[in-house]
Amino acid sequence: MTAPRIDTETLRRLPKAVLHDHLDGGLRPATVVELAAAVGHQLPTTDPGELAAWYFEAANSGDLVRYIATFEHTLAVMQTREGLLRTAEEYVLDLAADGVVYAEVRYAPELNTNGGLSLAEVVETVQEGLAAGMAKAAAAGTPVRVGTLLCGMRMFDRVREAADLAVAYRDAGVVGFDIAGAEDGFPPADHLAAFEHLRRESMPFTIHAGEAHGLPSIHQALQVCGAQRIGHGVRLTEDIVDGKLGRLASWVRDRRVALEMCPTSNLQTGCATSIAEHPITALKDLGFRVTLNTDNRLVSGTTMTREMSLLVEEAGWTVEDLRTVTVNALKSAFIPFDERKALIEDVVLPGYAAAL
Ligand SMILES: [Zn+2]
């Protein structure tokens, strides 16, 4: 690559915004080991280094279904108040250490009730852990604002319940909604009633679409369900031929619909072949509102700094490109406009100006 190299420490210090990162995919390996021992859950290994490698290897199978199956072991340690408090707090501290100044964390509360917690207790406990993390990060001089997206699992029947929960906790840290889980065979419109409810309540939502399934999934998410953003959306490129945009791709670009793109995760699930050829670069160059995200930091063995470094090293990205996707993320974040504007003007732009 001909782009000038940018050292990792400079990248780590750049202010970052992440819109697509799963709470249950971002645990510290050592924490999984300790919490598993406490609740008597058997792991593939009790060595944190080996466990991290196991996750990465298992997630590298090129199969979204197998990738999702690795979450069994993180979810197993997130069924108690102690487990949720600790993982939520550490989640925030790890983002702060990575230079993240704004994040939207997402998770499906229905997957955290095996230990007897109610859905409401799960949400309240996670918010408590996130708040503790934000207070510690701010005290350490690395403030990070974290909003929560609640997810419904698209292959189960509790999506409407999760949507109600998001609305109920909108003034307590929940800023939006999503559906997660296996995309193929579970189209967004299966949950139309939940999305119509959210629209009536003026509650923003994004939808995982265009990862395992193609254009019809993105079309349904936007034009039938009314999503404001798209999770992944890599297969939108199927509507772009020789640089010419089809109607759906035009809609996404012209209406400034944010694409929450996750390069390493996409390589692992087989919907992209290399960082150099990942659609994020072509879509950025065509003027789409692309954002850069980690998806699952433990499972994908990644961080925002690493994703940035890969794009710089392998796809020729510049610091200006990194600033663009960071500002894009804040423009499409689900927190109020004045807070987004303040983060862009007071934190992100000065941070990049200092680095350039
Ligand atoms: Zn995701």
Range with the poorest average pLDDT among 179-193, 273-287, 322-336: 179-193
CA–CA gap between residue 173 and residue 128 (Å, rounded): 10
Q: Calculate the alpha carbon distances from 79 to 76, 82, 177, 296 in Å.
A: 6, 8, 21, 19
- Evaluate whether 33 touches 51 at the Cβ level (below 8 Å): yes
Distance between Cα 333 and ligand 1 center (Å): 16
* Domains contained in the chain, CATH given: 19-349 (3.20.20.140)
What number is the average pLDDT over the span 95-106? 98
Band of pLDDT at residue 327, cut at 50, 70 and 90: very high
Band of pLDDT at residue 82, cut at 50, 70 and 90: very high
What number is the average pLDDT over the span 170-192? 92
Distance between Cα 71 and ligand 1 center (Å): 12
Band of pLDDT at residue 290, cut at 50, 70 and 90: very high
Residue 269: the pLDDT is 82
Distance between Cα 4 and ligand 1 center (Å): 31
Residue 24: the pLDDT is 96
Band of pLDDT at residue 2, cut at 50, 70 and 90: very low
Other beta carbons less than 10 A from residue 4's beta carbon: 8
- The tokens for 44 are 């593939």
CA–CA gap between residue 250 and residue 55 (Å, rounded): 37
47 known ligand binder: no
Q: Calculate the alpha carbon distances from 131 to 66, 118, 145, 166, 343 in Å.
A: 32, 20, 9, 17, 19
Question: In this model, does residue 7 exceed pLDDT 50?
Answer: yes
Distance between Cα 199 and ligand 1 center (Å): 22
Range with the poorest average pLDDT among 14-23, 180-189, 217-226, 228-237: 180-189
**What is the separation, in whole angstroms, between the first and last Cα of the chain?**
20
Q: Give this prediction's pTM.
A: 0.96
What number is the average pLDDT over the span 1-24? 87
Distance between Cα 354 and ligand 1 center (Å): 32
157 known ligand binder: no
What number is the average pLDDT over the span 202-228? 93
pLDDT tens for 63-81 read 777 777 788 999 999 999 9
User: For the purposes of burial, counting CB atoms within 10 Å of the CB of 241, is it exposed (0-12), middle (13-18) or buried (19 or more)?
Assistant: exposed
CA–CA gap between residue 253 and residue 275 (Å, rounded): 22
20 known ligand binder: yes
Does residue 54 sit in helix, strand or coil? helix
pLDDT tens for 339-354 read 999 999 999 999 999 9
219 known ligand binder: no
Residue 99: the pLDDT is 98
Among the options 89, 211, 260, 307, which is catalytic?
211
Distance between Cα 95 and ligand 1 center (Å): 17
What number is the average pLDDT over the span 142-153? 98
Distance between Cα 217 and ligand 1 center (Å): 15
Percentage above 90 pLDDT, the chain: 87
Nearest to 284 by CA among 245, 235, 328, 250: 328
- Evaluate whether 77 touches 35 at the Cβ level (below 8 Å): yes
208 known ligand binder: yes
Residue 4: the pLDDT is 57
Band of pLDDT at residue 157, cut at 50, 70 and 90: very high
Percentage above 70 pLDDT, the chain: 99
Question: In this model, does residue 205 exceed pLDDT 80?
Answer: yes
Distance between Cα 93 and ligand 1 center (Å): 20
Calculate the dihedral angle through the C-alpha atoms of 156, 157, 160, 161, rounding to the nearest 10 degrees: -90
Question: In this model, does residue 1 exceed pLDDT 50?
Answer: no
DSSP 41: P
191 known ligand binder: no
pLDDT tens for 189-198 read 999 999 999 9
Question: In this model, does residue 165 exceed pLDDT 80?
Answer: yes
Is 211 assigned a catalytic role? yes
